[in-house]
């Protein structure tokens, strides 16, 4: 048999002390864009953390039979467009330290991935610094990288730009992957979890495909979340464009994995049909964007294991998608 | 039997006089952003038009057995972010008049849809004026609306904003639909036909779903191109979010159709599986973003009829997708 590793979970159910700290910081930067302030402390007890998880992520793990979730701070709350590099750093440090506490309380259930203190216009060095702190000092196994810290205006450098190279180099050195995951949209054209997330997933993939830059970074590994945005559904479009343009589609798949956060059976079936099984990682993103029950299954929309179980994946494929691919992508993952 | 109506074709193979006119205009606005200039004339002969189509769109129509293409100016060349409302108007008028000439030369093969002289920050009135000119005076049957005239920065009003209402009202009065189709991206984060098109499709759908604004415009009809971007692949996500939030997903489907510009069999199968057959319109977007041959079919990637023919659509479904849905969405379409 195999374990079931969920590679995509965020701490979306944090105790009230987290929002309180952030709200105060947001109020301060709204009043003064150059506000720095102090890191201070989150008013969050271990009991509150337990309570916030026992009734949610842990209950779902038990109910759905998953073993371990790679757990990172709430993606929509990263909000790198708010404040400046100093406030982003304090906020990020708190969020990552909170994830560490979660994983210390439940080492069998969660493994930590960090957010980074990105900020529009800021050097990437602060993110590299926090990545090293999390991996080297705090035992994290991966990170989330926001490809659009502007929050939906896409005014920063694309992922193939040399701006990002120190981060890619550090990830390779530390042997950790990144999930390429945007945060909340502050552009009213976009709905955060509806259009911004999915558009960003497709955009990140396309930046890698058209630039070919990943070939220069052997060992660089990305997870494209939410089933890869629009990519698998348009697999023919992307492979066909690659053939037209001379882009090396197959080589890209040495670097990119797609998660299974697709919330209906036909979508999962398509994902498994077109994407090589070696490039698919089980994930649910619970508790996340969709919280209701799918009338087609009688289970939560984000109970993606139900779709995987009903798919045509054979035993070898299941082992890859549920466990082995994740162990390959996250070599620092230590299973209980 | 039924006809085969392709609802999505652009004049991507224009004679050189078109690019020459536009290049001169672009050079002038690059030198002076307030440049107005004159409309002048396109140096394009009827023979050049025939030649540009006979070896391309018309040849493919014959080879693939489609009857008629709803034909509009090249989408990536609309480039509403270039110049100003005056230059956009001259360019748009030329492009639309060229489409009229195409349809006069080949009335059995093409039916005209127009672009609009959108321009960032400009009133929508100019677009309403051009829409009326094209529909009332020139016999057009539909239009293309660019949801992001900024070219990938999304700095304009979303489609639910009252900015757009005069256009929606005119479309309803004239009984014509809009294909919601962006143009070239000038934001280097995006690849025009790879990520910008697909992201915009999802974004437009999401703007309609979350706002619910279309309920206030009975008879307003949109086509979401490129198979609806990421929407069908994430049907569970969107229906689940709608259930969570109280958005009326079913009512939206009175207003929205998806085309079949999805260039592989599993994608078309998924589209037909999840989207009601009444909401799917046959399309290929040839000659367009992907021009090579799909090794899985031995046919061009964009020969989407091959995928439809191999799908599980029954005869009733085929009649809807290939002809009847298009006649309902485009009531001004007169078939030979």
Q: Residue B155 has what pLDDT?
A: 98
Distance CA B195, CA A43 (A): 42
Question: What are the pLDDT digits (tens) for A254-263?
Answer: 999 999 999 9
Average pLDDT over residues B141-158: 98
Give the H or E element holding residue B72: strand B68-73
pLDDT for B1 equals: 81
> From the candidates B191, B247, B301, B308, which should be mutated to test the interface with A, based on the most A CB atoms within 10 A?
B191
Sheet holding B5-11, edge to edge: B5-11, B68-73, B110-114, B142-145, B178-180, B222-224, B256-259, B280-281
d(CA A101, CA B170): 58
Please give the pLDDT value at position B138.
98
- Annotation marks residue B38 as catalytic: no
In this complex, do B270 and A274 lie within 8 Å of one another by their Cβ atoms? Answer: no
Instruction: With CB atoms and an 8 Å threshold, state whether B191 touches A199.
Output: no
Which chain A residue has its CA at the smallest distance from B242's CA? A290
User: Using an 8 Å Cβ cutoff, are B14 and B290 in contact?
Assistant: no
pLDDT-based confidence at residue B336 (cuts at 50, 70, 90):
confident
What is the structure's pLDDT at A336? 77
- Closest A-chain CA to B228: A230
| pLDDT score for B269 | 98
| pLDDT (mean) for A302-323 | 98
pLDDT at A7 over 80: yes
Q: Averaged over A8-22, what is the pLDDT? A: 98
Which residues, listed in sequence order, are joined to residue B259 by a DSSP beta bridge? B281
What mean pLDDT comes out for the span A278-283? Answer: 98
Q: What percent of chain B has pLDDT over 70?
A: 100
Per-residue pLDDT reduced to its tens digit, B310-328: 999 999 999 999 999 999 9
Chain B contact set for A302 (CB, 8 A) = 240
Contact A292 B148 (CB under 8 A): no
What is the pLDDT, as a whole number, of residue A1?
Answer: 81
Backbone angles phi, psi at B211, to 5 degrees: -80, -30
Q: Which two tokens stand for residue A290?
A: 């969709």
Q: Do A207 and B191 touch (CB under 8 A)?
A: yes
Q: What is the pTM of this model?
A: 0.98
Residue B71 host element (H or E): strand B68-73
Distance CA B111, CA A154 (A): 37
Which residues of chain A does B296 touch, with a Cβ-Cβ cutoff of 8 Å? 236
How confident is the model at residue A102, as a pLDDT? 98
**Digit-coded pLDDT (tens) for B87-122:** 999 999 999 999 999 999 999 999 999 999 999 999
What are phi and psi for residue A271, nearest 5 degrees? -55, -50
Q: Which residues contact A246 (CB under 8 A, 6 or more apart)?
A: none
pLDDT at B205: 98
A153 CB neighbours in chain B (<8 A) are 153-155
pLDDT confidence bin for A317, thresholds 50/70/90 = very high
Chain A neighbors of B188, CB-CB under 8 A = 158
Could you report the predicted ipTM of this complex, rounded to two decimals? 0.98
Calculate how close chain A gets to B296, using CA atoms only, in Å.
10
Residues of B in contact with A294 (CB under 8 A): 236, 240
Chain A and chain B share a number of CB contacts under 8 A equal to: 194
Confidence at residue A329, expressed as pLDDT on a 0 to 100 scale? 98
pLDDT at B304: 98
Say whether B194 and A241 touch across the interface (CB within 8 A). Answer: yes
Residue A212 Rama label (left phi>0; alpha psi -120 to 50; beta): left
C-alpha atoms less than 13 angstroms from C-alpha of B178 in its C-beta half-sphere: 26
For A225-271, how does the pLDDT look when each residue is reduced to its tens digit (9 = 90+)? 999 999 999 999 999 999 999 999 999 999 999 999 999 999 999 99
To the nearest whole angstrom, how far is the Cα of B214 from the nearest Cα of chain A? 16
Question: Which one of B189, B226, B238, B288 would you mutate to disrupt binding with A, by most A Cβ within 10 Å of its Cβ?
Answer: B189
Strand residue runs (E) in chain A:
5-11, 68-73, 110-114, 142-145, 178-180, 222-224, 256-259, 280-281, 293-294, 299-300
Residue B228's Cβ-side half-sphere holds a number of Cα atoms within 13 Å equal to 27
Minimal C-alpha gap between B74 and chain A (Å): 18
Share of chain A above pLDDT 90, in %: 99
The pLDDT value given to residue B77: 98
Q: State the smallest CA–CA distance between residue B88 and chain A in angstroms.
A: 23
Contact yes or no for B234 and A244 at CB 8 A: no
Summarize the confidence of residues A32-53 as an average pLDDT. Answer: 97
pLDDT, mean over chain A:
97
More confident residue, A335 or B278: B278
| Partner-chain residue, chosen from B154, B205, B229, that has the shortest CB–CB distance to A153 | B154
How many other C-beta atoms lie within 10 A of the C-beta of residue B27?
Answer: 10
Per annotation, catalytic residue among A85, A97, A130, A285: A285
Chain B CB contacts of A194 below 8 Å: 202, 206, 209-210, 237-238, 241
Residues A82-110 pLDDT 10s:
999 999 999 999 999 999 999 999 999 99
The helix-helix angle for A125-132 and A165-174 (nearest 10°) equals 10
Instruction: Point out the residue among B195, B209, B267 whose CB comes nearest to the CB of A233.
Output: B267
């Amino acid at each position: 048999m195999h374990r079931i590793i969920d590679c995509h979970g965020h701490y979306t159910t944090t105790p009230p002390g987290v929002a309180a700290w952030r709200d105060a910081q947001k109020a301060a930067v709204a009043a003064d864009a150059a506000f720095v302030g102090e890191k201070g402390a989150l008013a969050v007890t271990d009991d509150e953390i337990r309570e916030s998880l026992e009734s949610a992520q842990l209950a779902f793990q038990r109910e759905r039979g998953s073993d371990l979730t790679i757990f990172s701070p709430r993606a929509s709350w990263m909000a790198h467009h708010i404040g400046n590099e100093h406030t982003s750093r304090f906020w990020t440090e708190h969020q990552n330290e909170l994830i560490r506490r979660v994983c210390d309380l439940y080492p069998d259930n969660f493994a930590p991935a960090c957010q980074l203190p990105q900020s529009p216009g800021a050097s990437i060095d602060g993110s590299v610094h926090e990545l090293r702190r999390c991996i080297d000092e705090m035992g994290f196994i991966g990170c989330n990288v926001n490809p659009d810290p502007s929050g939906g205006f896409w005014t920063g450098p694309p992922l193939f730009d040399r701006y990002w190279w120190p981060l890619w180099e550090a990830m390779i050195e530390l042997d950790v992957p990144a999930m390429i995951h945007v945060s909340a949209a502050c552009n009213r054209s976009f709905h955060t979890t509806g259009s911004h997330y999915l558009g960003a997933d497709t955009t990140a993939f396309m930046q890698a495909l058209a630039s070919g830059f990943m070939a220069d970074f052997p060992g660089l590994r990305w997870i494209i979340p939410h089933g890869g945005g629009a990519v698998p559904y348009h697999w023919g479009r992307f492979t066909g464009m690659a053939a037209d343009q001379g882009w090396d589609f197959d080589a890209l798949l040495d670097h990119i994995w797609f998660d299974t956060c697709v919330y209906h059976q036909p979508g999962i079936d398509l994902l498994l049909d077109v994407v090589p099984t070696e490039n698919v990682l089980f994930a649910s993103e619970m508790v996340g964007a969709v919280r209701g029950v799918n009338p087609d299954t009688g289970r939560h929309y984000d109970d993606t294991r139900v779709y995987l179980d009903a798919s045509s994946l054979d035993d070898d494929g299941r082992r890859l998608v549920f466990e082995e691919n994740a162990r390959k992508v996250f070599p620092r993952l230590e299973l209980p």
